[in-house]
Amino acid sequence: MLSRHAHSCPESHRGACSNLEPVAPGIVLQDNKPDDPLMIRLIVIATLTLLGSACSRTEFAYRNADVLLEYYAWKTVRTSSAQRDHWQPVLQTTLRHHREQELPLVIAYLDLAGHIIREKDGSPGAACLVDGTLFLYQRHARLAAGLAAPLLAELDDTQVRHFARHTNQRQQELVKRYLDPDPQTRKIGRQERITERIEKWTGKLNDSQRNQIRDALERIPDLSASWLAYRAQQTDSLLVMLGTGANTEALREHLDDWWVSRDGTSAEAERSWRIARHEFIQLMDNLATTLNETQRTKLENRLGKLRDDLASFLPSRQQTINLELVPACISAPA
């Protein structure tokens, strides 16, 4: 256990510590990552398992969630040993809640995904899987807000300045990655990223399948610019709150509004999101019908292994939730 030394990452997994990134809601629908200035990285516990990380890295992340979250807290705001000690009860309570309440939902989602793939007819289809991902994202974002707020409320002026530098550097990195000034370069990069994310699950796609993705991306709005502008706006508001000594509850409300409700997004951004969701669902449903036996088998095997690995972390006597009890998949449009 490394929790008393959060700035240390196990040498054998140094790459995992540096590369853990939450993945966008909707699998690859939004070609960027959720707003993540601090503890929304908790989402790595579930959404990373669903959406594209190597299984061995996922298992490491879940087994060592407390260590990785403390490490990230130290890296982001340079938390002191005393602050981490004070935060420990909140962290442990949150992780226990996750094992008991959220992990069964994650496993139910994976069971559902496996069922849909085996059925081959697409019912209930990609709409259920995308909405199920959004449902899990919102639950984890709310959990992350409750975890982050108490720690943020204890930051001193030096730590707030460090946090400001960290978030500014992160914003610049994201702008460089997603907003290449050359439209054609940006377009090609977007297609390559999304194709690569899909191929991590299915194996290499053929030319026809790649063309399907290319054609769909012509119809799917690129949300990167509006997402980054919104992220910068919300980060600035958070820094102002930290500078004026906002308390835990005020910070939690701000993070919840940002990460869960996405308050303050423009009407145009919301419209683009709805179009992107619809077109991405169509792409996934169409692409599913073209998978060959090798691709389908790889996808089934990856999902099955992931599901079994995560099920081993359930508390004793904990039953997984029946698929019918996942609200987003019941209500998802056809």
Q: Is residue 256 part of a domain?
A: yes
Q: Which residue has the higher pLDDT, 31 or 232?
A: 232
Tally Cβ neighbours within 10 Å of residue 177: 16
**Is residue 7, in this structure, part of any structural domain at all?**
no
Residue 326 lies in a domain: no
Q: Cα–Cα distance between 259 and 234 in angstroms, integer? A: 10
- Residue of 13, 16, 6, 24 whose CA lies nearest to 69: 6
What pLDDT shows up at residue 274? 92
With a CB cutoff of 8 Å and minimum separation 6, the contacts of 46 are 98, 102, 103, 106, 136, 140
Q: What's 320's DSSP letter?
A: P
What value does the mean pLDDT take over residues 291-317? 87
What pLDDT is attached to residue 37? 39
Reported in sequence order, the residue ranges of the chain that DSSP labels E, i.e. its strands, are: none
Q: Which residue has the higher pLDDT, 242 or 119?
A: 242
For residues 97-124, average pLDDT: 80
Q: What is the pLDDT of residue 49?
A: 37
Question: Tens digit of pLDDT for each residue in 7-41?
Answer: 444 343 333 333 333 333 333 344 544 444 343 44
Q: Is residue 45 part of a domain?
A: yes
- Residues 125-142 have a mean pLDDT of 84
The neighbour count for residue 12, using CB atoms within 10 Å, is 8
pLDDT digits (tens, 9 = 90+) for 47-64: 443 333 444 555 666 667
Amino acid making up residue 65? A
Question: How confident is the model over 285-296, as a mean pLDDT?
Answer: 92
**For the ranges 136-140, 205-209, 281-285, which has the lowest average pLDDT?**
136-140
Please determine, for residue 188, whether its predicted confidence score (pLDDT) is greater than 90.
yes
Q: What average pLDDT does the segment 253-281 reach?
A: 92
Q: Considering the domain boundaries, does residue 9 fall inside one? A: no
Place of tokens 């490490």: 71
Instruction: For residue 6, tell me if it sits in a domain.
Output: no
Q: How far apart are the first and last CA of the chain?
A: 46
Residue 233 contacts residue 264 (beta carbons within 8 Å): yes
Chain-centre distance for alpha carbon 270: 19
Which residues form the domain of 254? Answer: 19-314
Task: Please report, rounded to a whole number, the percentage of residues in the chain having pLDDT higher than 70.
Answer: 73
- Would 125 be classed as within a structural domain? yes
Which residue's entry shows tokens 């290319």? 214
Residue-averaged pLDDT of the chain: 78
Please, which contacts does 84-91 make with residues 24 or more away whose CB atoms are closer than 8 Å? 84/3, 84/4, 84/6, 86/154, 87/150, 87/151, 87/154, 88/3, 90/146, 90/147, 90/150, 90/151, 91/66, 91/147
Is the pLDDT at 44 greater than 50? The verdict is no
Say which residue, 293 or 74, is predicted with more confidence. 293
pLDDT attached to residue 174: 92
Q: What secondary structure does DSSP assign to 146-180, as a single string? A: HHHHHHHTT--HHHHHHHHHHHHHHHHHHHHHH--
pTM of the shown model: 0.81
Residue 227 lies in a domain: yes
Under 8 Å CB-to-CB from 133, ≥6 apart: which residues? 25, 26, 27, 47, 50, 51, 109
What's the total number of domains in the chain?
1
Q: Are 55 and 305 in contact (CB under 8 A)?
A: yes
